[in-house]
Every structure is written in C-alpha cells, then in structure tokens.
Structure 1
Amino acid sequence: MIKAILFDMDGVLIDARDWHYDALNRILALFGMPIDRDAHLATFDGLPTRRKLEILTASRALPSTLHNFFNEMKQVYTGEL
C-alpha cells in the first residue's frame, strides 16, 4: 500500500538548474547556438524550455520547426545527467 508520494517541484529538494542548462546547451551546441552561463542566468534561467526556444527563435533565428525536436532532446539529455 502506498502511504506517501514525494515529488520535487524543480529546485525545492534538488537544485537541477545546472542540469537544465547543460542539457539545453548540449543540443544548442549541435546547431552552433550555445548560450553562455551569464546570458542563461540573465535571460533564460527558470523559464520553461518551450519559452527559451521561443526567445531563441526571436533573437537568434532558431527555426520554430525544430522546437519539438529540441524540447524532446533536452528532456533526454536532462535524464542522462
């Protein structure tokens, strides 16, 4: 019988900030668009991946047709970290 369920609201129990940064940068680097840490902290930190991709489309011309692919790969890379 299940007596309790414990889950993390990303950052409450485990600080996964670096994992998310590294995972996103891993996929962005494949397309020559990595984000340096200062820019990530200033602009992207704490935002959902989909919002980060929207910003990159507006600021760096990341094709919006790649958003789903980037999001899926970021989830895979985050899981590996």
Structure 2
Amino acid sequence: MPTHHDITVQGRITYVNGGFITCPRCGASEQLTVYGPDGGKANLMCPAGHHFPPPAPVDAAKLLRRAVADPRTRFLA
C-alpha cells in the first residue's frame, strides 16, 4: 500500500445528516480528491484544483482511513 494517498471520490462525500462536503471557493461537491500521508490527516482538492481541509465536524484522519479502506478504492502502481 502507498505511503501517500490520492483518492478521487466518485460522487459526493456525505455527512451523517445527509449534507455533503463542498469546496469553499467554487462550491464543487463531486469528484473531490482525498489526499494525505498514510496514517495522517486528509486534505481535499476539488476538480478545479482548490485545496482545503475537511470542514468541521469531519475528522480528517478518519476521512482518509475510510477512503483507503473503502473496497471501491483502487490503488494505482
């Protein structure tokens, strides 16, 4: 498994309450990339290239762990 992850999420990243994460600069909510070091905290990037941390109340480390553990995630290399 890689030591740094770049995982593009197909669709949206949703909150427990049904809302979803959007880019604070452009409002994009689909095709967000979750990235970060293995065992570390996630950051996000929208398709337009804007980088941002996961908004509260999302746990950044848990978000990355879940993206890595998702059976739909495909690792390249």
Give the TM-score range, shorter chain.
Answer: 0.3 to 0.5
Q: TM-score, normalised by structure 1?
A: 0.33
Bigger Rg, which one: 1
Q: Which has the higher strand share?
A: 2
Scaled by the length of structure 2, what TM-score is found? Answer: 0.34
Higher relative contact order (CA 8 A, sep 6+): 1
Q: Which has the higher helix share?
A: 1
